[in-house]
Structure 1
């Protein structure tokens, strides 16, 4: 029985960790695009999930809701970057943090006024019951769907940044916007594109994880953001592979701690991991590049 419990907790942790990894990838993407840690990412993802909820409720079609979450997240990212973050002075890094926190409060307040603070249950496209042909692993069809979605995001970003001109322009605009402009790169457009992609990915991640929690409400992604931020820092804000590996590790850690020691200790375990990494290797375990200082 103990072995079965261990396998169940591990598989459940991997499934949750995959979603956290997707969320962490959105933070990495904005960091790569604009050198900003976006503390409003959770609120943007939550708002995109509400868009998906409305579309799904009106049409009865989950897949239209998923598309709406992606498009809605991208649109919100566009509005936030063009309407707020572009006008924040880069002289002091705290300016962007304060602006992002302001965006977070505004989004949560607006959503609360429109939908209230109650929890809305969300449907999933596949069963969450363990598949009979994977006996002993406790993997459901929905878990497999989550893994496929996250794998698609990871491969898509790898191709974008490693094989396409757009990805190279985004990287150039992030590390040296002035030099990139001299070389003909429209840095502001690349930064906006980074925000849109990151917001769409975070919307997808929220749509995947919220149905497995209590449900949808204006604060549904608060704790998810904390986990994703921890993962991004642990893996290295410049490292997409670090976000993926860190997400799986943190997901399993949370599942083990919750299963063996109690759910109340899960956030404590994550904070201890974050503190340990910051003390031992502040740049992140998988960080391979130096931060820009100018």
Structure 2
């Protein structure tokens, strides 16, 4: 066995998995706040990534462009919850209409991005440069180190938010029991709006890092990223931020290893490996590795 090649693929998988984990975190944030899966999360990230590109194309430093896009995405995510999601939820008590709305939002944002920026591909800057260093026979790119560090900072900040702030505790209370949280004075609507805004900002960061890794941006790239993020959240558990992180890293490593060691998979069928992973997890452990099983009283 070529151990250098194995560790090279392991490092590459962790670098990709960190980006999958970042978007999976956005999916988990909305699921924990509303109990719903936002199918438009990938296209929200796409639109935000185009905003990042727009600022960079006008001469902004790429880090400043990403920060500005995250701020605007936070505002946009909150507006989507307030103006689109909440009215549907108030009229319809079932989850299906909201799911349909998020699918419609996916299509609308993709078409809107094409209408504003066109359908041709754009060159996207490398956030962490193109350099690399070697550890033994393994080449570790600055991009891989950078995205792993960004993911670690995300996890740390979210930990502080949920464990050390009143707003984070309010979000946990809404997730645990929405009706009881209303009775104790928590402003349920504001918490949901903040949750959507936070998820949109995290998604904007994930989208920008993904486009930076590819060094290109077009309307189709986020659909693939969304599938990997779904696989990550399914593996880790949709109600567990830690599970989203672990799931993302595992999915990144598994897909890279599968593409490298299984000849008939290669680069073309790595996405199929993510679908198989989703199916296996749903059959064996539907709540995911870190998720809590749903217990209902009869």
Give me the whole-angstrom Cα distance separating, in 2, the residues matched to 1:248 and 1:214.
21
- 2:31/2:239 contact within 8 Å kept: yes
User: Cα distance, 1:206 vs. partner?
Assistant: 0.8
- 1:291 and 1:32, CA in 2 relative to 1: closer, same or farther beyond 3 A? farther
Stretches of structure 2 lacking an aligned partner (at least 5 in a row): none
1:171-203 deviations in Å (ceiling 9; x for gaps): 222333332122111000000000011110011
User: Cα distance, 1:129 vs. partner?
Assistant: 3.1
**Structure 1 residues 192-201 or 212-221, which shifts more?**
212-221
- With structure 1 as the length reference, what TM-score do the two structures score? 0.94
**Structure 1 residues 228-237 or 86-95, which shifts more?**
86-95
1:198-227 deviations in Å (ceiling 9; x for gaps): 110011011111122262112221010011
- 2:207/2:222 contact within 8 Å kept: yes
Find the counterpart in structure 2 of residue 48 from structure 1.
48
- 2:124/2:215 contact within 8 Å kept: no
Find the counterpart in structure 1 of residue 113 from structure 2.
111
Helix, strand or coil at the partner of 1:127: coil
Give me the whole-angstrom Cα distance separating, in 1, the residues matched to 2:21 and 2:277.
16
Give me the whole-angstrom Cα distance separating, in 1, the residues matched to 2:175 and 2:88.
16
Helix, strand or coil at the partner of 2:175: helix
**Structure 1 residues 28-37 or 89-98, which shifts more?**
89-98
Mapping of residues 201-280 of structure 1, within 5 Å? 201-213=202-214, 215-260=216-261, 261=263, 262-280=266-284
User: Cα distance, 1:289 vs. partner?
Assistant: 5.4
Find the counterpart in structure 2 of residue 282 from structure 1.
286
Between Structure 1 and Structure 2, which shows a larger proportion of strand residues?
Answer: 2
Give me the whole-angstrom Cα distance separating, in 2, the residues matched to 1:82 and 1:35.
16
- 1:276 and 1:289, CA in 2 relative to 1: closer, same or farther beyond 3 A? closer
**Structure 1 residues 73-82 or 150-159, which shifts more?**
73-82
Give me the whole-angstrom Cα distance separating, in 2, the residues matched to 1:210 and 1:78.
24
Q: CA RMSD in A?
A: 1.7
Give me the whole-angstrom Cα distance separating, in 2, the residues matched to 1:7 and 1:292.
45
Find the counterpart in structure 1 of residue 168 from structure 2.
167
User: Cα distance, 1:291 vs. partner?
Assistant: 6.8
User: Cα distance, 1:70 vs. partner?
Assistant: 0.9
Mapping of residues 1-294 of structure 1, within 5 Å? 2-89=2-89, 90-132=92-134, 134-213=135-214, 215-260=216-261, 261=263, 262-288=266-292, 290=294
Give me the whole-angstrom Cα distance separating, in 2, the residues matched to 1:289 and 1:200.
29
Give me the whole-angstrom Cα distance separating, in 2, the residues matched to 1:180 and 1:173.
6
1:222-254 deviations in Å (ceiling 9; x for gaps): 010011011111111111111111111100011
Stretches of structure 1 lacking an aligned partner (at least 5 in a row): none
- 1:69/1:207 contact within 8 Å kept: no
- 2:21/2:246 contact within 8 Å kept: yes
- 2:127/2:212 contact within 8 Å kept: no
Helix, strand or coil at the partner of 1:138: strand
Give me the whole-angstrom Cα distance separating, in 1, the residues matched to 2:77 and 2:185.
24
| Equivalenced residues, count | 292
1:121-162 deviations in Å (ceiling 9; x for gaps): 111132333214x34232111211111111011111112112
**Structure 1 residues 1-10 or 38-47, which shifts more?**
1-10
